[in-house]
Amino acid sequence: MGLQKGMSLTDARAIAPDLLVMDHDAQAFHKKLIAMVDWCRRFTPLAALDAPDGVMLDITGVTHLFGGVPALMRDIETRLARLGITGITAVAATPEAAWALARFSKTKIAPDDAKALQRLLSPLPAAALRLDETTCAALARSGLKQIGDIHMRPRAPIAARFGDALFARLDAMLGLAKSPISPRFEAPTYMAERRFADGIALRPQIEETIAALAKDLCTMLERHGEGARRLCATLFRVDGAVRHIHAGTSRPVRDVKSIARLFHERFEAAGKTRDEDPLDIGYGFDVIRLAVTAADALDPTQNVLQQTDTQARDAQERAARMSDLIDRLGARLGTSRVLHFHEADDHWPEHAVVARAAARGRPKAFSSVAQAVPERPLRLFERPEPVEAIASVPDGPPIRFRWRRLMHEVSAFEGPERIAPQWWKQEASALTRDYFRIEDTQGTRFWLFREGLYASETARPKWYVHGLFA
């Protein structure tokens, strides 16, 4: 119709009066473009965002999978068209040349021969060099309208006037200098995928596919003596949406069953947030890919030779089952919910022990220092609960106290154990605590403390229940 990029709206309206006009939402467009990059990873693992309007694919060594370069380009364009996107593809030996061909040339596939490539690029406008607008305008003013005009002239004067970037770009385009493609995700070391003529839309089928892919991966991993630490399943939906599902393990894993079960739990966990359709399957997935994004050495374990040493073998097997269990629980509940207790170098009761994800390794045995502290309660309240306590003397133990609306008579006590705040860490507002172990007439044992030293720190010390003993 003659509509062009950069045209004023009035001119465009004059040509097409029923033109639908909308504001350009740069952010949404960028988001969509990133989704497109992920979608393009179905063709090659090395897909890079080429802002503002392009996607750069490194198709080295993948074209034969799609029946050659022209077939691949057709495939991409028809698939894009099905998603309602008009796409233009171009293939060249260098990213810069491909960029220029896609936007400024009628020939979309660059020849391999360097001379022929130069001939092809020469008539393209200087804008094909992807320079900023001021440089382009300056070039046009000097009569350097085409790439050929620049290329055939002596370099030094042009470089002196327009900057080095011009020739850096030109050299990269012609393959004289190398420029890398920085993909959005690194190519995984191990990867397996299945393609389907039609989208598969059933959970069991998807899980079976994951298991089959895991089998392929495990063969590869075994050949290299490695095990997976982090896995990523990528599900390409028919309508272009791409979903990544990650799973981590606490030890290198090379077991098909463990990997399949891990993803089963991840899918279950995904189901909790979206009730009716956990994976958001829609019309189904037509490409499912499983990749190992991090791997560690995993030497084949030698099963204990002597049959007599059954105990050692049992322990070994149990440890393996335990870490599998930790992974599975972590996959469903979140790794921060499956914990080990670690000793911390801190005497303040709340901070003396930290709970860390069990997937990050087993804790060391508690030091003698930690074990030498006076008895600590089995249950500790997140926040100390205030109580009303009556003591015979202001800095003495309580005689009775009211906790959760019930009066408790103290029948035995031990203390105080004075715990001072860490003046080098906390603000000055933290007060010294005097802890008492207290037993009431029912036999319930409390860990009470009085906050603040009488007279020197506070005039009215407050009492709290911090924990309960068995």
Q: Which residues bind another protein (CB under 8 A)?
A: 314-315, 318, 321-322, 324-326, 328-329, 332-333, 337-343, 349, 352-353, 355, 358, 362-366, 370-371, 373, 375-382, 404, 406, 411-414, 437-439, 441-445, 467-470
Q: How far is the CB of 461 from another protein (least distance, A)?
A: 21
Q: How far is the CB of 365 from another protein (least distance, A)?
A: 6
| Both tokens assigned to 79 | 């698939």
CB-nearer residue toward another protein: 355 or 390: 355
How far CA 136 is from CA of 50, 150, 266, 457, in Å, comes to: 20, 12, 52, 74
Q: How far is the CB of 231 from another protein (least distance, A)?
A: 19
Burial 419-450 (b: 16+ CB within 10 A, else e): bebeeeeeeeeebbbbbbbbbbeeeebbbbbb
| Both tokens assigned to 110 | 């660059």
| Both tokens assigned to 245 | 């599902």
Closest CA to 416 of 390, 398, 430, 404: 398
CB-nearer residue toward another protein: 24 or 383: 383
Residue located via tokens 């997937």: 359
- Tell me the sheet residues that pair with 385: 465
Q: How far is the CB of 36 from another protein (least distance, A)?
A: 36
Distance CA 189, CA 291 (A): 8
Q: How far is the CB of 341 from another protein (least distance, A)?
A: 4
CB-nearer residue toward another protein: 207 or 216: 207
Q: How far is the CB of 20 from another protein (least distance, A)?
A: 47
Distance CA 463, CA 452 (A): 9
Distance CA 409, CA 103 (A): 86
CB-nearer residue toward another protein: 29 or 341: 341
The DSSP line for 42-56 is: TT-S-EEEETTTEEE
The β-bridge relationship of strands 406-419 and 190-200 is unpaired
Quick one: angle between helices 133-141 and 155-162, nearest 10? Answer: 130
- Tell me the sheet residues that pair with 226: 297
CB-nearer residue toward another protein: 242 or 448: 448
- For residue 279, what is the DSSP state? T
CB-nearer residue toward another protein: 129 or 438: 438
- Tell me the sheet residues that pair with 54: 50
Q: How far is the CB of 322 from another protein (least distance, A)?
A: 4
